[in-house]
């Protein structure tokens, strides 16, 4: 296990290093400097600004500086927000994004597991078809379409929830959380259904029945745990999906989160925020995927004791 973790941590750093490098050189490969394209400055002014941001130095020096700063958690300064530190900007925006992400994930996964269980235990009944239908809808309808319609019906037409803005406390987070939850809900319910059906047909379930276990014990004591463990493996893709979702949903509901800031920066060509957020997202996903692998090893006894799959 220790060897497995060490190996994974090394990969994590290599991956992150590569992303950071790629991001940096992509930016450098751009014709002109980000400042010249964004503002109307005289050549002298431009030179002053470039010197201020260190853009007049040779590229390897800039790269080394950038990487050193990155190692200390410094993502540079924003061009857009009066030179504010990108790290601070991200931290400021973290709260709403985290609340939404957590609510969406918990709601989606919980409901998804429930739907998947019902579908598997009531196979080929109306319950099963119903939850399969919900899952297909959840996977198919793009989150921004779903979010827009939620907003249109429940906020604009029925006026049950605030339309947008993060001002009405928890009520403001209800619709965006539901919109975010659709993806995880669909993924989890399809996954759990497939796993449960397979587990329920397995020999050890027959053995459990032959011991005299009743339906409840069979479903929850024996089948549920075995169906649930593999769900951990989709948490990585789910987290990635949440990020994708948050970009548009924060935009639609005007929530002051990281995603909304990111999209605005893309529009405003604020490269330091784009780069900073990109690196932040990458780091987040890399860590999630790593944690998922470790977690899987911890909860599955087969991997726990044999020390990793590879």
Partner 1 sequence: MKQDLQKPPADSFERIKIDASHAERITKPSMSFWQDAWLRIRKNKAAIVSMFILAFIIIMAFVGPLISPHDAETQTITHANLPPKIPGFEKLGIMDGVGTLAGKEVDLYEMKKVDTYYWFGTDGLGRDMFSRVWEGTQISLFIAFVAALIDMVIGVAYGGISGYYGGRVDDIMQRIVEILYGIPTLVIVILMLSFMDPGITAIIIAITITGWIGMSRIVRGQVLKFKNQEFVLASRTLGASNNRIITKHILPNILGIIIINTMFTIPTAIFFEAFLSFIGLGLQPPDASLGTLINDGYKLVQFQPHILLFPSIIISLLMIAFNLLGDGLRDALDPKMKD
Partner 2 sequence: MEKILEVNDLELSFHTFAGEVKAIRGVNFDLHKGETLAIVGESGSGKSVTTKAIMRLLPESSSEFKNGQILFNGKDLTKLTDKEMQKIRGKDISMIFQDPMTSLNPTMTIGNQIMEPILKHRKVSKAEARKVVIDLLRLVGMPKPEARIKQYPHQFSGGQRQRIVIAIALACNPQILIADEPTTALDVTIQAQILELMKDLQKKIDTSIIFITHDLGVVANVADRVAVMYGGKIVEIGTVDEIFYNPQHPYTWGLLSSMPSLDTEVEKLYAIPGTPPDLLYPPKGDAFALRSDYAMKIDLEEAPPFFKVSDTHSAATWLLHPDAPKVEPPLAIVERMKKFPGSRYYEGTEGGTY
Based on the shown chain and the rule CB under 8 A, indicate whether residue 307 belongs to the binding site for partner 2: no
Answer whether 249's CB lies under 8 Å from 144's CB.
yes
214 binds, among partner 1, partner 2, none (CB under 5 to 8 A by kind): partner 2
Based on the shown chain and the rule CB under 8 A, indicate whether residue 204 belongs to the binding site for partner 2: yes
Which span (2-10, 50-58, 221-229, 284-292) binds partner 2, by CB under 8 A?
Answer: 221-229
Shortest distance, position 123 Cβ to partner 2, whole Å: 8
- Of 95 and 301, nearer to partner 2 (C-beta) is 301
**Could you tell me the CA-to-CA distances from 89 to 33, 78, 263, 270 in Å, in that order?**
22, 9, 14, 13
Shortest distance, position 211 Cβ to partner 2, whole Å: 4
**Could you tell me the CA-to-CA distances from 277 to 67, 128, 243, 289, 307 in Å, in that order?**
15, 41, 11, 18, 35
Which x/- pattern over 275-304 shows residues binding partner 2 (rule: CB under 8 A)? Answer: -------------------------xxx--
- Of 218 and 249, nearer to partner 1 (C-beta) is 249
Binding stretches for partner 1 (CB under 8 A): 11-12, 14-15, 18-19, 22-23, 26-27, 29-30, 136-137, 139-142, 144-145, 148-149, 151-152, 156, 240, 243-244, 247-248, 251-252, 263, 266-267, 271, 274, 278, 281-282, 285-286, 289
Shortest distance, position 267 Cβ to partner 1, whole Å: 6
- Of 52 and 225, nearer to partner 2 (C-beta) is 225
Kindly give, in sequence order, each residue whose CB lies less than 8 Å from that of residue 252, ignoring residues fewer than 6 positions away. 144, 147, 148, 151, 164, 176, 179
**Alpha-carbon dihedral of residues 162, 166, 168, 171, nearest 10 degrees?**
70
Based on the shown chain and the rule CB under 8 A, indicate whether residue 310 belongs to the binding site for partner 2: no
Q: What does the alpha-carbon distance between residue 184 and residue 137 come to, in Å, rounded to a whole number? A: 12
Task: Give Dmax (Cα) for the chain.
Answer: 86
How many CA atoms lie within 13 Å of 192's alpha carbon, on the beta-carbon side? 31
For the purposes of burial, counting CB atoms within 10 Å of the CB of 227, is it exposed (0-12), middle (13-18) or buried (19 or more)? buried
Q: What does the alpha-carbon distance between residue 136 and residue 230 come to, in Å, rounded to a whole number? A: 20
List residues near partner 2 by CB under 8 A: 123-124, 202-204, 206-215, 222, 225-226, 229, 300-302, 305-306
């Amino acid at each position: 296990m220790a060897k497995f973790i060490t190996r994974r941590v090394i990969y994590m750093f290599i991956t992150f290093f590569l992303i950071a490098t790629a991001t940096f050189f992509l930016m450098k490969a751009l014709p002109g400097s980000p400042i010249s394209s964004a503002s109307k400055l005289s050549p002298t002014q431009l030179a002053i600004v470039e010197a201020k941001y260190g853009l007049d130095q040779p590229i390897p020096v800039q790269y080394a500086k950038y990487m050193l700063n990155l190692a200390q958690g410094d993502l540079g300064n924003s061009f857009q927000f009066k030179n504010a530190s990108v790290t601070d900007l991200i931290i400021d925006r973290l709260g709403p994004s985290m609340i939404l992400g957590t609510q969406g994930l918990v709601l989606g996964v919980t409901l998804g597991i429930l739907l998947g269980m019902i579908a598997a235990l009531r196979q080929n009944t109306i319950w099963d078809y119903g939850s399969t239908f919900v899952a297909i809808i959840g996977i198919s309808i793009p989150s921004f379409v779903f979010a827009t319609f939620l907003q249109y019906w429940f906020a604009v037409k029925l006026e049950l929830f605030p339309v947008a803005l993060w001002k009405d406390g928890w009520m403001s987070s209800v619709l965006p959380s539901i919109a975010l939850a659709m993806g995880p809900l669909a993924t989890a319910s399809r996954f759990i259904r497939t796993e449960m059906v397979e587990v329920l047909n397995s020999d050890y379930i027959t053995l459990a029945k032959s011991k005299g276990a009743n339906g409840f014990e069979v479903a929850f004591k024996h089948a549920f745990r075995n169906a649930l463990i593999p769900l951990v493996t989709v948490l990585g893709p789910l987290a990635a999906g949440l990020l994708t979702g948050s970009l548009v949903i924060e935009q639609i509901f005007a929530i002051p989160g990281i995603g909304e800031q990111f999209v605005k920066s893309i529009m405003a060509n604020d490269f330091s925020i784009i780069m900073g957020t990109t690196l932040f997202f990458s780091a987040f996903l890399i860590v999630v995927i790593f944690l998922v692998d470790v977690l899987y090893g911890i909860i599955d006894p087969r991997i726990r004791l044999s020390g990793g799959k590879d």
